[in-house]
Amino acid sequence: MTSNNNPTVVLVHGAFADGSSWAGVIDRLRARGVEAVAVSNPLRGLAHDGDYVASVAGQIDGPVVLVGHSYGGPVITHAGSKTPNAKALVYVAAFGIDQGESALGSVESFPPVDLGTSLVQQTFPDGESVEVEFTIRRDAFAGVFAADLPADFTATAAASQRPIAARALGEPLTVEPAWKTLPSWFLVATADNAIHPDSQRAAAKRLDATTVEVDASHAVAVSRPDEVANLILAAVNSLT
């Protein structure tokens, strides 16, 4: 295989979403000549998910820019530490965690958000044990996740949401966070009802990330794909 020096963008969705949430961003990146891959995040556990994303990214020829939305932020923080060809990180309305910290633990000191009272607990089999997973109540989904998107979109998204294992949100990061060695960018969604905007701002400061703020819901990649794509392009351009 010939060497490819053009960065590939690896997009990692978070809880309650899937790879299709990046469709508008992918279109805009491709229009600018940038290839992108939307990974199907397993949503089963931080180390498990991070190792999976690292495996996908590590098999791409050439440098990669890891992009994580929401819980995808901790996943790329883990994955980037195990992906030698990862050159930059982009966090989109995400959790920003350090070693020994979990996604939930990172937001404990910030005001509560609507997500906390809107979760539905279910179970799933895991070998010989039974584990807990969460979805968002369908009647609350629009307000919590995508208040700036049309009702027909949010109704479909609520019905097709992917559950996340409770352990994924509560599992501490066990590796050196990738943002300590890789340059980072961060988009703060200022109308977010799933991760408090002040938590996002604090995470961006901790990561010493190049930061932009966008007046958008948690589903900012869907509602404001231009702004998200532009931030990713800034990271890509920094490498070229």
Domain boundaries of the chain, sorted by first residue = 8-239
Second CATH level (architecture) for the domain 8-239: 3-Layer(aba) Sandwich (3.40)
pLDDT of 178 strictly over 70: yes
Distance CA 114, CA 125 (A): 28
Q: Rounded mean pLDDT of the chain?
A: 97
* pLDDT range class, residue 240, cuts 50, 70, 90: confident
Closest CA to 196 of 78, 75, 80, 103: 103
pTM of the model: 0.97
The model's pLDDT over 91-123, given as tens digits with 9 standing for 90+, comes to 999 999 999 999 999 999 999 999 999 999 999
pLDDT of 150 strictly over 90: yes
Percentage of residues of the chain with pLDDT beyond 90: 98
* pLDDT range class, residue 236, cuts 50, 70, 90: very high
Residue 124: helix, strand or coil by DSSP?
strand
Distance CA 182, CA 178 (A): 6
pLDDT of 1 strictly over 80: no
* pLDDT range class, residue 3, cuts 50, 70, 90: very low
At which residue do the structure tokens 């229009």 appear? 31
